[in-house]
Structure formats: C-alpha cells, structure tokens
Amino acid sequence: MQLIGLARIGNEPEIRYTKNDDAVLSLSLAYNYGRKGDDGFKPSQWIDAALWGKLAEALQPYLVKGSTVCVTIDDLHVETHEKKDGSSGSKLAGRITSIELTKRDVPEEAPAPAPKRMAAKKSTGPMDGLEDDIPF
C-alpha cells in the first residue's frame, strides 16, 4: 500500500547506520484527517517512517520537529508490539520513497550582493546642487 500527502514531523529525526553503513533516518509523521472535533483540532494518524541512504544523510539537518513535508510512503503496514504494561499495541509503519520540504523549511540561499555604486566626484561648478540620478 502507498500513501502520499502532507505530514508534520512529530519528533526530532534520529539517524542510525546498519552493519553495511547504510543510513536510516527514523521519522514520526502526523497526518491530519477528517473534520475538526469539539476541541477545534482534526484527528491525527501517526506513522513511523524511515528514509534510507544518502538522501537520509543529506536531509537530516533540514528535517526538524514541527516542520511540514510532502512524502510518499511505500510498504505501508501495521506492526504489532508489546507495550510496557504487557498489553499488545499496533502502529503504522512504512518506507519513505519520496520527500519534499515545504518552502518555509528550505534553507534560503544568501542574497546576491548589491552592486557597488561609484562614488560621486566632488565638483565646485554651477551644477553642484543637482542629483546624480537621471530618470532616463
């Protein structure tokens, strides 16, 4: 199963490496769905997702808690586990195959330096009070 959509990162992503030195970045993603409840918020579905390889290493500094991303998750499945209290629990998990940062989360490039203006030369002639800028 595949899921495509906007999600908010719910924790600080953690990177780890496999025995073969493949990078794995773990993300907890919150998807909002449905109508707002009495509290004014839409319900959220949490998904544990992993981003692999060089892309995981390159994007780790930009993927921070609270930022919004557009992701494609493949192999979406339910994992069951035992909770601390001994009961069983389940969670959605998958592998991120595509990810895009929203515009506000993309680092801006340094602005181009302003062109240098030539210093006006001082003169003592009859035209001294006029502006240097000519409108045509």
Tokens of 61: 């500094």
Report if residue 133 sits inside a domain.
no
Measured CA to CA in angstroms, residue 80 lies from 14, 48, 83 at distances of: 21, 12, 10
Cβ neighbourhood burial of 109 (10 Å; 0-12, 13-18, 19+): exposed
DSSP string, 81-134: EE-TTS-EEEEEEEEEEEEEE-GGGSPPPPPPPPPPPPPPPP--STTTTS-S--
d(CA 58, CA 21): 15
Flag whether 129 is in a domain.
no
Note down the domain range covering 63. Answer: 3-105
* Residue (of 58, 51, 29) closest to 95 by Cα position: 51
Domain membership flag for residue 114: no
Is residue 93 in a domain?
A: yes
The CATH number for 75's domain is 2.40.50.140
The total number of structural domains that make up the chain: 1
Task: Please list the residues that pair with 28 across neighbouring strands.
Answer: 48
Taking the C-alpha atoms of residue 61 and residue 9, their distance in angstroms, rounded to an integer, is 13
In a domain, 89, yes or no: yes
pLDDT (tens place) for every residue of the chain, 136 residues total? 888 989 999 999 999 999 999 999 999 999 988 888 899 888 888 999 999 999 999 999 999 999 999 999 999 999 998 888 888 888 899 999 999 987 665 555 544 444 444 444 455 555 555 555 555 4
Considering the domain boundaries, does residue 15 fall inside one?
Answer: yes
